[in-house]
Amino acid sequence: MKDAALLAEDGRIVFAGPDADFVRLYGEAPAPGETVLDGSGKTAVPGFVDAHTHLPWDGFREDEFNRRLKGETYAAIAAAGGGILATVSTTRAASEETLARNVRARLDLMLRHGTTFCEAKTGYGLDLANEKKQLRALLKGAKGHPVGVAPTALPAHEVPPERRGSSALKRRYVEECRAEILPALADGGARFVDVFCEEGVFSVEESRAILEAGKAVGLRPRVHADELTPLGGASLAADVGALSADHLLYATDEGIEAMARSGVVATLLPGTSVFLRTNRYARARHMVERGVAIALGTDCNPGSSYTESLPAVAFLASLGMGLTAEETLTAMTLNAAASVDEAKARGSLEPGKRADIVLLDAPSLEHLVYHWGVNLVSDVLAGGEHVVSRGDLLGSRAS
């Protein structure tokens, strides 16, 4: 819409439409106490929703990144002690305060790039004490921050080192997740349950048992599905009524059809495809044609997609997966909100929804994927509060 206006009161949008209608209803002069933000020559879009992140962790894996550039595979690095378990080690060793500071710093970066809401997972603790520590750190780091956070319990991110070596040890960990860790994380504030359903990690049957246990304590299912092999995670997501199936690089036609029938959102993570040099993307166009809603996430984590920028991922979604500019924007706003059960509250600019608004320093939404490699976010409003101005954080966050 050209020549448009937005009005927010008490954190909610109360008007979104043509300038002429705004002037007719409210007049040209600002009301007393009203703050006016000039968007001339810019484009207003909904605040971005990052549908898949791993925020509460410590330590980096830049050495692994460089080893992959030299030809080593992710699997080989993991077998030599790297991968997820390397981050488990550093995260277990970190204090809760350190993890909370890390979360807040990452949320600041996300906010600068237009994200106003995100999903964030545990999954680098892999035991009761450390999973609870991760969740507490996530909630502490997010408290009072303009970026809203939906916490996900992911104790089944990997088999912990102390539960390896026999099928009996692994079965014991699956039962520990079901009987102890998930109930504790649900009590601690988690909203969702996730599992890495993948060959060599958790089987379809193990994943189903974990997800059903999460549902029993009030956690909505999400699934790391068909990332490395066509194991059947997409179909499992449909079977258990998951909000979202994520990754999906190897999702089968059958799995995609099942997701379409069940209304499972496909949360796609093209940044991970590039970061791991897989030369493979999820079949986004096929999914769209089958009626599957597409969401996007950064997969922000230290090993397979180290970025807090959804606009960076948007570029890859457009060029790598063939999504149009409009589809890409929808995937990082309304569809992403749907994937975290937030579509009624956010994800579009319409009266009644939260005033989460991003101003792009660009004349049209196409620039979001057309003008790449730079941060076009000029201003951000979160719940009607002006929190980013000309790219800089406002208030106490500016420090």
User: For residue range 264-295, what is the model confidence (pLDDT) as tens digits?
Assistant: 999 999 999 999 999 899 999 999 999 999 99
Distances (CA, A) of 231 to 16, 79, 151, 178: 45, 21, 26, 22
**Pairing between strand 244-247 and 265-268?**
parallel
Q: Phi and psi (nearest 5°) for 346?
A: -155, 175
Contact 65, 305 (CB under 8 A): no
User: What's the whole-number mean pLDDT along residues 199-205?
Assistant: 96
Question: In the chain, what are the domains?
Answer: 4-45+356-398 (2.30.40.10), 48-339 (3.20.20.140)
Listed in sequence order, the residues at least 6 apart from 209 whose beta carbon sits closer than 8 Å to its beta carbon are: 174, 178
pLDDT in tens, 218-271: 999 999 999 999 999 999 999 999 999 999 999 999 999 999 999 999 999 999
Label residue 29 exposed, middle or buried (CB < 10 Å: 0-12, 13-18, 19+): exposed
Q: What is the pTM of this model?
A: 0.97
User: What's the whole-number mean pLDDT along residues 61-89?
Assistant: 91
Listed in sequence order, the residues at least 6 apart from 118 whose beta carbon sits closer than 8 Å to its beta carbon are: 49, 50, 51, 53, 55, 107, 110, 147, 148, 149, 150
Question: Which residues on adjacent β-strands are paired with residue 152?
Answer: 121, 192
The angle, 0 to 180 degrees and rounded to 10, between the axes of the packed helices 167-176 and 204-216 is 20
**Residue 397 in this model has a pLDDT that exceeds 60:** no
For residues 251 and 228, what is the distance between their CA atoms, to the nearest angstrom?
9
pLDDT in tens, 11-47: 999 999 999 999 999 998 888 889 999 999 999 999 9
SS3 call for 352:
coil
Give the largest Cα separation in the chain, rounded. Answer: 73
Percentage of residues of the chain with pLDDT beyond 70: 99
Listed in sequence order, the residues at least 6 apart from 303 whose beta carbon sits closer than 8 Å to its beta carbon are: 61, 64, 82, 83, 84, 86, 87
User: What's the whole-number mean pLDDT along residues 156-181?
Assistant: 96
